[in-house]
Amino acid sequence: MKDEMMNMPEKIYADTAFINAKVITVSKDDEIAEAVCTAGNKILAVGTNELIKEYTGPDTKIIDAAGRTVMPGFIDSHIHFVMYGLLDHGVVNVDYKHVSSIKDILKLIEKEASVKKKGEWIVLSGYDHNKLEEKRHPLKEEFDSVAPDNPVQCIRCCAHMGVYNSYALNLCNVTSAEQFAPGEVVTDDNGNLTGLLKETAHMSLSKKVVLSENELLNGIKNANKIMLENGITSVHDAGSYGKTTMCLLQKSCADRTVKVRVRPMIFDMYGKESGKEYIENFLNTGIYTNLGDEHFKLGPVKIMTDGSTSGPSCATIEPYSHDKNLKGIQVWQQDEADEMIDKVHKSEFQMTAHAVGDKAVTVMLNGYEKALKDMPRENHRHRIEHCALTNEDIIKRVRDLSIIPVSNPAFISINACDYNRFYGDRVKYMFPLKSYIENNVITAIGSDAPVTEANPMFSLYGAVNRCDIKTEESCGDNQKVGIKDIVRMFTYNGAYAAFEEDIKGSLEPGKLADIVMLSENILDYPEKKLMDVKTVMTMIDGEIVYERKE
């Protein structure tokens, strides 16, 4: 630290200094410092209170952290930013906190129908049928009874399926199960449509849902607000967005309506064919990953290869533990995946895929292996989003191919009980953070909000406790990691997954001043109480962008 001080021109004073803190620097040797100060949009110095005093001038704003944690801003490496912001802002939130039964959902639809014009979409999102009183999905007839004159879409929390009313199904010409792949249009015992659509059938209808520019902009602003309140300073936006949303998002970052740094993935969720076309159009421009600036930068190309862990619909090698007839839905077969990975890899793009089950993950690894053999590329940083169900062999292949898995330990906090039921012993290698560390695999962390919530404490809780928040039922506790480990994954590793570890992800002189102060010293705080920890202050580019009113 002394050396760094000597190298600084003498008259630079800090704009802001955090003192008396437990600073988790996430530096190479994991230094815990007492203080950190910023000048302009960069970190000026990190070290002892005494050292930082050298940089404080008459105009320096001094923040006494009183022993609490100060750390790099969280980098949420997998979040559906705009989609999340739209909840309660254009889209009705029906997650487990807002509704407990289908009756509750129907009341909300009825309310929307009373304020919307005939024919306008009513969109709801976030229900989990496993958590509803009725323990089933709603039926189209139930929606028809409260909203006969509006198309209704009610998306499950995993975003891989949704229930539609008759108006919506007619509008989109869905009349029989034969129009889509087996299992995607759910029917009752008599062969009648229930309104529940899965995967491609669901995605292709989603494309027809229209929200206004105003609704979208409100959603974007709301998403930014939620990030800052949660200490999140960068997001890798898992999309997917059409032209209007992408354009509004870029504009909002450019004029700083959105302060959080956004890295959108190139992805179209409206089914495989639609996704292929979208990606190919993009590749044909010759533009590739990392175009942009520190506020808005192009991320990887993403494809969606299977379902979700909680549906459960992810593609598994062995059948599910609760139902021996189920192995999930595999959307991309090996040859198609190979072809796409090869194209993306050769276009200099960073590649990623939503791949959850061990079967889907294996398809991606096979594809990466072939592409890298065909055209070796140093520092490709190809990723796998979720990479949830793994095994020893998968972890070794991830390591050998230098793939970055983007894990979601928050899922453990919320779904531990279901996971034990669906996957049995396999939870030992589900989001295997400990195994990643032991194998020198760099994993980044994503909340996958709105599938979970943006609050990073869900991820911290799941990573260190490996249990359900409500019941404390444990789930693969062999994969528990320490608080410093998960902080590194959630900051520095997120920067690494975006080729940005030289400019952010740790608190070191010269890096961007993206800092968060928490309400506690999390290094020495009861692990089971982590959900009580709040973000007290968020700084981006040296500017305090959020302060909690205490």
Residues 317 and 359: their CA atoms lie apart, in Å, by 5
The encoded tokens of residue 381 equal: 């940083």
What is the C-alpha to C-alpha distance for residues 340 and 363, in angstroms, rounded to an integer?
12
CB of 141 to Zn ion, least distance (A): 31
199 lines the binding site for Zn ion (CB under 5 A): no
Single-letter amino acid code for the residue at 128: D
> Which of 394, 395, 337 lies closest to 371 in space, CA to CA?
337
d(CA 465, CA 476): 10
| 510: alpha, beta or left? (left if phi > 0; alpha if psi -120 to 50) | left
Question: Looking at beta carbons only, is 382 or 434 nearer to Zn ion?
Answer: 382
User: Which is it for the CA torsion 446, 447, 450, 452, positive or negative?
Assistant: positive
CA distance 441 to 346: 24
User: CA–CA separation, 440 vs 379, rounded Å?
Assistant: 15
Task: Count the residues of the shown chain that bind Zn ion, applying the rule CB under 5 A.
Answer: 2
CB of 80 to Zn ion, least distance (A): 6
| Shortest distance (Å) from residue 358 CB to Zn ion | 18
Residue 435 vs 452, nearer CB to Zn ion: 452
Instruction: Return phi, psi of residue 525, to 5°.
Output: -140, 140
Give the contact letters, 410-449, x = binds to Zn ion (CB under 5 A), - = no. Answer: --------------------------------------x-
Which tokens belong to 419? 């996971």
Nearer to Zn ion, 34 or 306 (CB): 306
User: Of 28, 23, 40, 24, which is closest to residue 496 (Cα–Cα)?
Assistant: 28
Tokens 């940089």, located at residue: 55
Q: Does 268 bind Zn ion (CB under 5 A)?
A: no
- Work out how close the CB of 444 gets to Zn ion at its nearest, in angstroms, rounded to a whole number: 13
526 upstream amide cis, omega within 30 of 0: no
What's the closest the beta carbon of residue 450 comes to Zn ion, in angstroms? 9
**Minimum distance, C-beta of residue 353 to Zn ion, in the bound complex (Å):** 11
Please say which residue, 385 or 520, places its beta carbon nearer to Zn ion: 385
Spatial distance between the Cα atoms of 459 and 455, rounded to a whole number of angstroms: 8
* Residue whose CB is less far from Zn ion, 372 or 384: 384
Is the CB of 70 or the CB of 360 nearer to Zn ion?
360
Residue 158 beta carbon to Zn ion: minimum distance, rounded to whole angstroms: 9
Task: Select the span of 231-239, 342-350, 402-410, 415-423 touching Zn ion (CB under 5 A).
Answer: 231-239
- Cβ distance to Zn ion smaller for residue 315 or 516: 315
Q: Shortest approach of Zn ion to residue 100 CB, angstroms? A: 25
| Nearest distance in Å: CB 79, Zn ion | 8
Closer to Zn ion by Cβ: residue 306 or 448: 448
Tell me how crowded residue 379 is: count the other CB atoms within 10 A of its CB: 7
- Going through 56-121 in order, the beta strands assigned E by DSSP cover 61-64, 69-72, 74-79, 92-93
Question: 112 or 268, CB closer to Zn ion?
Answer: 268
238 is an interface residue for Zn ion by CB under 5 A: yes
Residue ranges in contact with Zn ion by CB under 5 A: 238, 448
